[in-house]
Amino acid sequence: MILAGMGDFASEHWKDALEIAILAVGIYFAYVGLRETRGLRVLTGLAAVVLALVLLSHLFGLEVISWLLQRISAVVIVALVVIFQPELRRMLAQLGSHHIFGIAPENKEIVEELAQTAFDISSRHLGALIAIERGTDIQSHIESGVMIDSRLSPELIVTIFHPKTPLHDGGLIVRGDRVISAGCIFPVSQRQDLDRNLGLRHRAAIGLTEESDAIVLIVSEETGTVSLCHRGKLEREFTPASLRTRLSELLLMPTHESNAHEQPAGESTVAGAGDPPVGGHPKEPAERHDNVAA
């Protein structure tokens, strides 16, 4: 009898359970997409106000407020789309642009060249922003720069980031073993928890890796520090050997990514400032030492 009753209950209410599951998954992914952004605080405040009004209207029979809440629901949805446009854009980009097969360097030679190039640029006291495309499509950012489509080489990248060249202020994008585009404009992260002294190169690296699974190498022009940004996190204080190891983990062994050590080479959510602007912004005054937030 008990099993029969449970079967009847399940057959009658399976749609309710499905709706609850869909709503729970939607709320979870909305939270994941909005956490560490100002959008989460705005949404939390808005939800608290609406919930308070609903409770008051039901407890005290406030018919006017109930009527207003019912009528403005459609307007609120449109307002939410406008308010959370940056966050929605980032979540949809992550959801809709992921390729089944990633594009990553397939041999150690590419890793060696990237690591050598980063420290060659550092030794010359130049700044650099190098994005390595993986599974997520970043074609829109590629098209924001100047198409190059040339075999990757340290000499080419150093030349691009030389201060006398027109493309040195933008980002460079690598696909496989080729330099695809230079002078690219990357989205600057809008996270509110970042250090105010953070340079635009590092903010642009964070912004791109928040929207995609790309890996970004950053070389500070002021300090020569080589950093790596992945999934919105900055990892710093690399040596040539440790950078090669980390790039190998991320590019040559994708299955190892989820099991990578938790704090490689000085992982941080912020990095030092002192970098020139990205994508044509005015140059900031010579600044500040590289700072790391715990």
- pLDDT at residue 290, rounded to an integer: 39
For residues 131-167, one letter each, b for 16 or more C-beta atoms within 10 angstroms of the residue's C-beta and e for the rest, the string is bbbbbbebeebbebbeebeeebebebbeebbeeeeeb
Contacting residues for 60 by C-beta, under 8 A, at least 6 apart: none
In this prediction, residue 279 has a pLDDT band, given cuts at 50, 70 and 90, of very low
When mean pLDDT is compared across 50-59, 162-171, 226-235, the lowest value belongs to: 50-59
pTM: 0.59
Average pLDDT rounded to a whole number, residues 198-221: 91
Lowest-pLDDT range of 32-41, 47-56, 150-159, 234-243: 32-41
Of residues 14 and 169, more confidence is placed in: 169
pLDDT value of residue 189: 87
Taking each helix axis as running N to C, give the angle between helix 85-96 and helix 200-211, from 0 to 180 degrees, rounded to the nearest 10: 60
Once rounded to an integer, what is the mean pLDDT over residues 206-211?
A: 91
Q: Is the pLDDT of residue 153 over 80?
A: yes
CB 278 within 8 A of CB 169: yes
As a whole number, mean pLDDT of residues 62-86 equals 80
pLDDT of res. 125:
92
Enumerate the CATH 3.40.1700.10 domain ranges in the chain, comma separated. Answer: 108-268
User: Sorting pLDDT into bands at 50, 70 and 90, what band is 163?
Assistant: very high
pLDDT for 95 beyond 50: yes
Q: How confident is the model at residue 75 (pLDDT cuts 50, 70, 90)?
A: confident
User: Pairing between strand 226-230 and 233-235?
Assistant: antiparallel
Nearest C-alpha neighbor of 130 from the set 262, 278, 246, 1: 278
What are the φ/ψ torsions at residue 283 (nearest 5 degrees)? Answer: -75, 135
Q: In what order do the strands lie in the sheet with 233-235?
A: 146-151, 178-184, 171-175, 128-132, 215-219, 226-230, 233-235, 267-268
Per-residue confidence band for 72, with pLDDT thresholds at 50, 70 and 90:
confident
Mean per-residue pLDDT of the chain = 77
CATH number assigned to the domain covering 108-268: 3.40.1700.10
Measured on CA atoms in the order 43, 44, 47, 49, is the torsion positive or negative? negative
